[in-house]
A and B are shown apart, each in its own frame.
Chain A
């Protein structure tokens, strides 16, 4: 199972890393409209400056290439890791680090290009924007029927799942029931689908880029880009509907973790394939219009590090990305500031979670009887049970024979900790290392029932003996 999870992450991370490399680092810089997020000007292609730009591009492209190769090798090695929790921690850390690293040469390249631009005395047309009057608000490619159809299907699937969970639609097999598991799982994808529906309209309404004085060239270029984007949203929405349908079949007919994982694998592969096709089509469009790009506004100064848009005078929230495909937000916009704060907060929480999970994974649990109390310790005293409150203790041979459902807390292969429902009894406190198998069931006066163990069966037995004799 852990290997399948690793494979899914590998399929997600390595192509994403390669796509990021292709997008960020220009191969034939003379033909590109941007070099590390700085507008490509004719002055860069004249005299000694050409060699200088060449040197900057070569240097940072080579760095980028090395980072991609190292990333792919490390991703391959991560597949060898054992344990789901370890895989999750390692992949999350890898994902964040890899995408930070791949951007560093780009940011440095952007800095050097801006320095070169200053040295050459070139000034950005800060505050200048171009608008093609004939195409303003008139270029769209999104077909409402195409994007609404998968959303309607997704809504119907959620409705059916809800009816099944409410037992309005009776089922002979399957694991649907009172906890609305299927509805909740489907609702997550349904909400993603609704988000994509909204985003598809946002991207279809983005400002049209002015690349030429010819209105038809501008219209065709922007329509081609918007069509590519719209097609991607439609394909992605249908992939999600297909996955939701597979999930429902799995819940109703063949409840199996392996089948779930295979569905996720197919879903991930399909999404990545859609992303690759989308990027390839985008590159094809850019290549087709390269020679017709005679008019481009130079707003380099509004792009921090060539990737974050900050323009207080621009009232728009959504703008097209400087590099890559899709859109980004204007960080000077009040909503943009909030989104940037939320993003920073999410990154901090994710980093903290990775560190926390890593600590949980690597710190063994300790069960000890100290003077007049039983102490369950890992990083801190999780539970302290005074002997006086214990009414009975029972020895259990196999943790795996317990039917446990986590309500809150940690549920790793190597650690179960928190509030669980055990064999139908709700509100139980669990502190177990499942690999040790043995456990102690501790009942307390008016309190919860505890299921505890040490890191090994020997440690658990030792404490059990103390509890029996000394209490």
Chain B
């Protein structure tokens, strides 16, 4: 799985890492139980501070996407908690995206098509 980090983005780097790993899990690029690189290895590869990667992993662990232990490092959880609901913050974000698309004239079908594509 390829992670794309944009240093000039408004989104903090740890958030970018978190988001892309979540997208990787959702899209099947990261399989259940798959080993993730160590904090140090990923920091060296990205040329960023180890604390940033550590923060992203911590966030992913808290949210239940990955599990970590001293012996095996970080792995994608084999069973991810299925809440079957969208958190309020995400709903607000989705509303903003849909609103912007509507204002700029994007047809509803186009948005639904994209959702279908991403949901596969």
The interface of chain A, by Cβ under 8 A from chain B, is 125-134, 136-138, 205, 207-208, 210, 213, 215, 295, 311, 313-316
Contact = CB atoms under 8 A, between A and B. Distances in A.
A129 B48 CA distance: 11
Given A126-B8, A133-B36, A138-B37, A295 B2 contact: yes
B5 interface: yes
Contacts of B8: 126-127
Given A129-B5, A131-B42, A311-B47, 6 more contacts: A128-B5, A133-B3, A133-B21, A137-B38, A137-B44, A295-B2
B2 A133 contact: yes
A344 to B, nearest CB: 25
A134 B49 contact: no
Contacts of A125: 6
A120 to B, nearest CB: 21
Nearest to A319: B47
Contact of A215 (B1, B37, B46, B49): B1
Contacts of A128: 4-7
A378 B46 CA distance: 58
7 contacts: A126-B8, A133-B21, A136-B41, A137-B37, A207-B45, A215-B1, A316-B44
B30 interface: yes
Contacts of B44: 136-137, 205, 207, 316
B13 to A, nearest CB: 10
Contacts of B45: 131, 136-137, 207-208
A137 B21 CA distance: 17
B1 to A, nearest CB: 5
A129 B44 CA distance: 12
Interface residues of B, number: 25
Interface string B98-114: 00000000000000000
B79 to A, nearest CB: 21
Among B6, B43, B47, find the residue whose CB has the most chain A CB atoms closer than 10 A: B47
A130 B1 contact: no
Interface in B29-67: 30, 36-38, 40-49
Contacts of A133: 1-3, 21, 24, 30, 36-37, 42
A205 B24 CA distance: 25
A137 B42 contact: yes
B1 A137 contact: no
B50 to A, nearest CB: 9
A207 B4 CA distance: 14
B2 A129 contact: no
Given A137-B45, A315-B47, A131 B5 contact: yes
A137 B50 CA distance: 13
B41 A131 contact: no
Greatest chain A CB density within 10 A among B1, B9, B42, B43 is at: B1
A311 to B, nearest CB: 8
Contact of B4 (A130, A136, A313): A130
Nearest to B50: A315
Residue of B1, B41, B44, B45 most packed against chain A (CB within 10 A): B45
A251 to B, nearest CB: 44
